[in-house]
Structure 1
Amino acid sequence: MKHSISDRLFSIIIAAVLALIAIVTFFPFYYVLVVSFTEPSEYLSKPFILFPRQWSFQSYEYLLTTKSFVRALSNSAFLATVGTACSLVVTAALAYPLSRRRMRGRRKIMMMILFTILFGPGMIPSYMLVRDIGLINSIWSLIIPALASGWNVILMRGFFDSIPTELEESAAMDGCNDLSIWFRIIIPLSLPSLAAFGLFYAVGYWNQFFSAILYLNQPEKWPIQVFLQNMLITATNSELNSDVYAQPPPSETLKMAAVIIATVPILAVYPFLQKHFAKGAMVGSVKG
């Protein structure tokens, strides 16, 4: 099929516009990466750098030898691992019985879960609840209130609906109880969906920011996102004291390096979950 000149011209214009948008979108990330690897002396001598003449890891080495930064990084790692594991257990344990018709009152429970999706409690009631249960200034204040997402529970319930009940019946005939069926049959069959939801939860916990500002008063318990925000709005990085380096690199190179370090861990998770993500992300969307 031949295309007219106007069609070709239109395709060229669309391709050029999309390429321009891609460049504009990618450039900030490129600039942050370049500045983070720039030699401090070169950065101080040039107002704008697109490609450094000499690459340096000094900013990264300085940050990773700073107790406050490493502590914030470990706090976020704790949230992303422990929080994700707890959320997956609670979500799967809640979604599975709701997918079985023999459970009494499951429709009422589903309506309550749906209500939490449509109507949020707001900042002040959430703070009062966390305060009354004694979680203020505790790292668990970022995990327990966010253990389960109503939307994820509904989606995982749809996935459990697609598992044939005959598998459970045959396992029950072999002497398995409900808990054994859940661990030995349901969970192994649910690995794609658990990988997808685990990625969603991990990203959410790693990016904890607003809740950490509300509930955590001590800087020692801040996750990396709050620490990075405080670092970016501060003109100097006096709170960063390395145990190895006496003279810190320029504050801008430290900030750029901190942004990269805060971004890379979550990006590194995607390749390992990619084979499960496409299948798991569609759980509950198609039935029949």
Structure 2
Amino acid sequence: MNRSWSEKLGSALNYTLLAGFGLLTLFPFLHVLAQSLSSPHAVSSNQVTIYPIDFQLEAYKLLLQDSAFYKSFGISVMRTVFGTAINMILTCLMAYAVSRRTLKGRSAIMAMVVFTMLFSGGMIPSFLLLKELSMLNTFWSLILPSAVSAFNLILMKNFFESIPESLEESAKIDGAGHWTILTRLFIPLSLPAIATLTLFYAVMHWNSYFDAVMYISNADLNPLQVYLRNLIVQNESNIELTNNMGLFLVAPETLKAATIMASVLPMIILYPFLQKFFVKGVMLGAVKE
């Protein structure tokens, strides 16, 4: 199909603008990566832009020698895995229930779900509740308070409602109950939405730090984001940055940059595997015919 010169010009401008915005968003990432791989002198003298100067891996070597880093990394991995699993199980179960038009009180239940998106009990009541439940300074305080997201629940509910009723009726004729319909019909047909919401929940758990700051005082239970916060904001670290002669092995900014890269790397690795489901899952869960 032949396009006019105005259409070609418009496409060229669009691609140019998108490429420019893409480079702008990529610049901070490249800058932090370059800082983590540069020498202390280059970093302290502000010579580093988007490429390393006097390439070295000393910051990563020191970081990987810190036992606190491994503990916090392990807590973040455990939180992301177990938390996302609990999130998806509860979200699928509740979404299936509220997507059934025969459920009594369905509208009232959804009204309460939407209400939680607009109003919450607040920080202090949440803290007092977990205290009364003896959940402070426990691993479960990082998972159970955010067990179900109202937004993700609505997406999954809409996705389930988009599945033709004829499939469900055929399954019931064959003698299938609700559990069989959910596990052998709805979930296999909802893999794009499930992959999308899994990514949403995983990123939420991996990036969360404020709940750990509020509910956790035991340093052994701090996730990676709290470790990173203490390093960047409060300059707290057990890593020795100087050698026996008092010379800097790495600059403090270099160590912070290396920690940031270590914290974002798992999500960067995970995202490409779920990207193909991302747009499809959101659209199918949000658009209803």
Q: TM-score range by the shorter chain?
A: 0.7 to 0.9
Question: Is 2:176 aligned against 1:176?
Answer: yes
Structure 2 length-normalised TM = 0.86
Q: Is the 8 A contact 1:62 1:248 kept in 2?
A: no
Question: Separation in 2 of the partners of 1:110 and 1:16?
Answer: 44
Question: Separation in 1 of the partners of 2:70 and 2:269?
Answer: 18
| RMSD (Å) for aligned C-alpha atoms | 2.7
Question: Separation in 1 of the partners of 2:133 and 2:201?
Answer: 23
Superposition deviation, residue 209 in structure 1: 1.3
Q: Report the equivalent of 1:195.
A: 195
Q: Is the 8 A contact 2:39 2:54 kept in 1?
A: yes
Question: Separation in 1 of the partners of 2:19 and 2:54?
Answer: 29
Question: Is 2:264 aligned against 1:263?
Answer: yes
Write the deviation string for residues 1-47 of structure 1: whole angstroms up to 9, x where unpaired.
Answer: 566xxxx9xx98x9998877665544332221111012446556x44
Structure 2 vs 1, CA of residues 24 and 170 (structure 1 numbering), >3 Å: closer, same or farther? closer
Question: Separation in 2 of the partners of 1:102 and 1:128?
Answer: 38
Question: Separation in 2 of the partners of 1:118 and 1:266?
Answer: 29
Structure 2 vs 1, CA of residues 126 and 193 (structure 1 numbering), >3 Å: closer, same or farther? same
| One-letter code aligned to 2:107 | R
| One-letter code aligned to 1:207 | N
Write the deviation string for residues 53-94 of structure 1: whole angstroms up to 9, x where unpaired.
Answer: 442222112212211011111111111111111101101100
Structure 2 vs 1, CA of residues 231 and 164 (structure 1 numbering), >3 Å: closer, same or farther? same
Q: Report the equivalent of 1:77.
A: 77
Write the deviation string for residues 184-234 of structure 1: whole angstroms up to 9, x where unpaired.
Answer: 111111110011111111111011111111000111111111110100124
Structure 2 vs 1, CA of residues 2 and 253 (structure 1 numbering), >3 Å: closer, same or farther? closer
Q: Is the 8 A contact 2:230 2:236 kept in 1?
A: no
Question: Separation in 1 of the partners of 2:228 and 2:22?
Answer: 26
Q: Is the 8 A contact 2:195 2:274 kept in 1?
A: yes
| One-letter code aligned to 1:107 | S
Question: Separation in 1 of the partners of 2:15 and 2:165?
Answer: 51
Question: Separation in 2 of the partners of 1:169 and 1:22?
Answer: 48
Question: Is 2:89 aligned against 1:112?
Answer: no
Structure 1 length-normalised TM = 0.86
Superposition deviation, residue 269 in structure 1: 1.3
Q: Report the equivalent of 1:61.
A: 61
Q: Is the 8 A contact 1:99 1:158 kept in 2?
A: yes
Structure 2 vs 1, CA of residues 59 and 176 (structure 1 numbering), >3 Å: closer, same or farther? same
Q: Report the equivalent of 1:49.
A: 48
Write the deviation string for residues 102-160 of structure 1: whole angstroms up to 9, x where unpaired.
Answer: 22221111111111112121111111111111111112111101010112111211111
Q: Is the 8 A contact 2:39 2:56 kept in 1?
A: yes
Q: Report the equivalent of 1:274.
A: 275
